[in-house]
Amino acid sequence: MSRFTDFTDKVVIVTGASRGLGRAMALGFAECGASIVVSSRKPDACNAVVAEITATGGRATAVPCHVGDWNALPELIDGTLAAFGRVDVLINNAGIAPTAASSLEMSEELLDKTMAVNFKGPFRLSALAEPHLRKHRGSIINITSIGAIKPDPTYPVYAAAKGALNIITRSHAMEFGPAVRVNAIMAGPFWTDISRSWRDEYQKNAPSAMKRMGTPEEIVSTALYLASPCSSYTTGTIIQLDGGIL
């Protein structure tokens, strides 16, 4: 195994790790030797991914957490330290994309929930993790969305939240550097549960150079790059991973 992809003795937190992109990244980092903290709202779903990892000889633990709950986030860091004693990589992947019929019909509750999960949670969790990441010259990877630069009337608040996460990626890179690097993957459409309601139609005429949606496994190599010594001079960078959307 190359020293650039060897994550033995490294501890990686993945939020939203029970399915989709988060699950793929959790499995990918585990395959490279990392100890994985699998986090999402549902304990049973977290435990299922832990079982997948440990079945192949990997190390993982479940620390369920609702990233939209500001006061619950310290428990995720505390649970990680209790299980593995350190934090090397934080992947802020958890997200939700609810919609309303129009901006006028968007409720304050739904707006606040969308912002809390997609922006406030990653902001707070990064701040909590930073002192521990600093000890090991660690890395934060924020999973944002192409919606941040290509907003659509059907998901304005989601797009705004991901745009804010792009900005915080740059801001935290400056605040936490040089010891902690902070980057983002700005994901385009991927074949996941979240896209279930529209993925078949999109796949028929995908407006991208690749002419298709991405598969969850196709985000893993980019995440590994950003967490590894390969990207030692890369921080405050937002990588657009969308198959070449036109």
If one counts the domains in the chain, the total is 1
Q: Evaluate whether residue 101 is within a structural domain.
A: yes
Q: Evaluate whether residue 58 is within a structural domain.
A: yes
Q: Tens-digit pLDDT profile for the chain (246 aa)?
A: 577 789 999 999 999 999 999 999 999 999 999 999 999 999 999 999 999 999 999 999 999 999 999 999 999 999 999 999 999 999 999 999 998 999 999 999 999 999 999 999 999 999 999 999 999 999 999 999 999 999 888 899 999 999 999 999 999 999 999 999 999 999 999 887 776 677 777 888 888 888 888 999 999 999 999 999 999 999 999 999 999 987
- Residues labelled catalytic: 158
- Angle formed at CA 62 by CA 59 and CA 68, multiple of 5 degrees: 135
In this structure, what are the phi and psi dihedrals at residue 161, rounded to the nearest 5 degrees?
-65, -40
Find the CATH number of the domain harbouring 201.
3.40.50.720
Q: Evaluate whether residue 4 is within a structural domain.
A: no
Q: How far is CA 130 from CA 71, 85, 117, 205, in A?
A: 17, 15, 19, 42
Identity of residue 237: T
Q: Evaluate whether residue 246 is within a structural domain.
A: no
85 sits in the region (left: phi over 0; alpha: psi -120 to 50; else beta) called left
Containing domain of residue 165, as a range? 11-241
Predicted structure pTM score = 0.95
